[in-house]
């Protein structure tokens, strides 16, 4: 049986829909009042683990799940040893540097050396500012990073931006993007090498599904 790690939250509906399209029904995860963290597909060929977004590559890298769906942002931040298999195309957002709208800075390179940057994604932020050769002080937060510039704790933030509405409502603007992020199908490298065909069949079906969705 194939075990697939799925992320709670914004990616779950589209993840379940994608697997349903290739014959793996995990609709029970979307039922109101569901408390199950491990759900078998109705066909009996696979089961889904419902985990936090950041934990998806952990379960896959340790082989507790052979496949998983997770945002590219998480892969960039945590750098777990997993195989990236398919860009599934949904869950689109971007990792951005943002400042107060009243700030004079309009490019990341304009920020002063050794300024403070608040972020949940400190590895991504560190790599980005290193590429600019701009030394900064990183402040790790686990939520509401927008408060960093609002309270004066930081000059800027590095965070995911989808519509930009949260930034706008808090008087912030995005000034530069680090990268675009979408949901990715990932796999456990050893399981892929030892696969008897069951895992590759699912991967190929999802690849074909995504290619059809991209076709004009």
3-state secondary structure of 177: strand
pLDDT at 148: 96
pLDDT at 216: 58
All domains of the chain, ordered by start, with CATH?
Answer: 2-91+182-214 (3.40.190.10), 93-179 (3.40.190.10)
Instruction: Report residue 187: phi and psi, to 5°.
Output: -140, 160
- Regions of the chain short of the pLDDT cut 70: 212-216
pLDDT at 74: 96
pLDDT at 89: 93
Buried b / exposed e over 34-44, threshold 16 CB at 10 Å, is eeeeebbbeee
pLDDT at 138: 98
Contact 86, 210 (CB under 8 A): yes
| CA 86/CA 171 separation, integer angstroms | 36
Long-range contact list for 25-28, CB < 8 A, 24+ apart? none
| CA 56/CA 51 separation, integer angstroms | 6
pLDDT at 44: 83
pTM above the 0.85 mark?
Answer: yes
């Amino acid at each position: 049986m194939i075990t697939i790690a799925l992320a709670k939250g914004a990616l779950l509906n589209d993840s379940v829909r994608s697997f349903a399209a290739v014959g793996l029904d995990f609709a029970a995860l979307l039922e109101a009042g569901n408390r199950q963290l491990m759900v078998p597909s109705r066909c009996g060929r696979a089961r889904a683990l419902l985990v936090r977004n950041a934990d998806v590559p952990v379960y896959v890298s340790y082989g507790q799940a052979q496949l998983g769906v997770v945002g590219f942002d998480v892969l960039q931040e945590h750098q777990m040893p997993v195989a990236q298999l398919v860009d599934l195309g949904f869950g689109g957002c971007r990792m951005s540097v943002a400042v107060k709208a009243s700030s004079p800075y309009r490019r990341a390179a304009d920020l002063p050396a050794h300024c403070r940057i608040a972020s949940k994604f400190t590895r991504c932020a560190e790599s980005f500012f290193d590429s600019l050769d701009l030394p900064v002080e990183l402040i790790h937060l686990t939520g509401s990073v927008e408060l960093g510039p609002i309270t004066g704790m930081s000059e800027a933030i590095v965070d995911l931006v989808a519509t930009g509405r949260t930034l706008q409502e808090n008087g912030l603007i995005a000034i530069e993007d680090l990268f675009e992020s979408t949901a990715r199908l990932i796999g456990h490298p050893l399981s892929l090498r030892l696969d008897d065909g069951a895992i590759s069949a699912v991967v190929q079906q999802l690849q074909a599904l995504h290619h059809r969705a991209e076709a004009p």
